[in-house]
Amino acid sequence: MLWTEESQTALWDILKKPTLCLQYINDCNIIQPCICIKCNKPMELAMSSAISYLNMYADGIFMKCKCFRCKVQLKPPYDDIGTNVINVIKLVWSHWNRKEYKEVLQYNSVSKDIGCREKAFTDVIQATRNRILEIQSHEITQIGGKGCIVEIDETFMNKRKQNVGRMLQNAIGGEQVVDQNEKPIQYWIFGGVERRQVDDQSKQPLKGFYVMVQKRDRKTLEAEILKHIRPGTMIYSDMWHSYNNIIAMRDHNGIWCHYNHFSVNHKRNFVNPVLNNIHTQNIERRWGDLKQHCKRRGYRTGGVNSSIKQRVSEYEFKRNNGVLKVSQLIKKLVE
């Protein structure tokens, strides 16, 4: 069955109706299969509105066995959240669609709307970020290929109000550290994004990668290019000296990567004056999106906070997967 769950109202209506709710949970594979310990047969979802069941199972949903009438309480998609399955679905939707749900998100207001504790919402958010970080750390994002264009660039994640203040030394190994005066230290983030082809009419999201690096020297950036950009790609960049050897780059086996490389001098132009399709405007725009994403989700680029890696992974996951329904999202997170 195709579910229309793009809006809050549509999803809430599905979860209110017992039959649709059970079918939705089944179709989305949100709950792992359960085997009866007595008859060793698969158990099935059931829902009851009886007060006795509601006292035992917070949302009235449980797994039951036809043979011995065994009943088992459902475990939410995340462990140790402290709320029921329906609330977890609502909380994940609220977090994933945060910009649409509320421009200025307050944990307590969302929790009251859904009918759960505020801590449950923060637990769901943290569990989602941890799982996305785990997925991203095991799956290396590769983009580009023959006939594809990739724009690359690097940026600072450091806040200076009105361009005033000392520039602090770099973070070590992508992790937040502070100096002796407990002042935050900045991050370098290196990234790349594919450019849509002229004849590509699809609405598939343009994939990109965003990695935290200790420094932006030639050795570091070339290692990330080899890891994330396929051979034969046409690469556009600015004229940072670490990119000067891209055309001659070879992989770890000594095989030439066949990269093509064009650059634009940002001190003079933002777009190449001779070939106006050579620019890095798309990746520059992504940096603005990334920093806004981090700010909306509680991270301040100058604050003492070690969760920047989670925010960057969350942003990459969201941009590369496009518009995911909450059922697809939870399925990815629990598989």
Residue 226 has pLDDT above 90, yes or no: yes
Which of 285, 244, 282 is closest to 263 using CA atoms? 244
For residue 173, being part of any structural domain is answered with: yes
In a domain, 214, yes or no: yes
Sign of CA dihedral 282, 288, 291, 297: negative
What pLDDT, in 10s, does the model give residues 122-152? 788 888 888 888 888 888 889 999 989 999 9
Residue 232 within a domain? yes
Is 248 within the bounds of a domain?
yes
pTM of the model: 0.76
Residue 193, in any domain of the structure:
yes
What's the CA gap between 147 and 138, in Å, rounded? 27
CATH code at position 195: 3.30.420
Please state, rounded to an integer, the average pLDDT across all residues of the chain. 75
The Cα 92–Cα 100 span in angstroms is: 13
Model confidence band, residue 68 (pLDDT cutoffs 50, 70, 90): low
Q: Which domain holds residue 264?
A: 149-304
Give Cα 268 distance to the centre of its chain.
Answer: 35
**Domain annotation covers residue 170:** yes
Evaluate whether residue 67 is within a structural domain. Answer: no
Q: What is the tally of structural domains in the chain? A: 1
- Residue 96's nearest CA partner among 333, 300, 334, 265 is 333
- The runs of H, that is alpha helices, within the chain are 8-16, 18-27, 51-56, 85-96, 98-101, 107-114, 118-138, 218-228, 281-296, 308-321, 326-334
pLDDT digits (tens, 9 = 90+) for 149-194: 999 999 987 655 445 555 544 444 444 444 445 455 567 899 999 9
CB 153 within 8 A of CB 284: yes
What's the Cα-to-Cα distance from 92 to each of 20, 111, 271, rounded to whole Å? 19, 12, 41
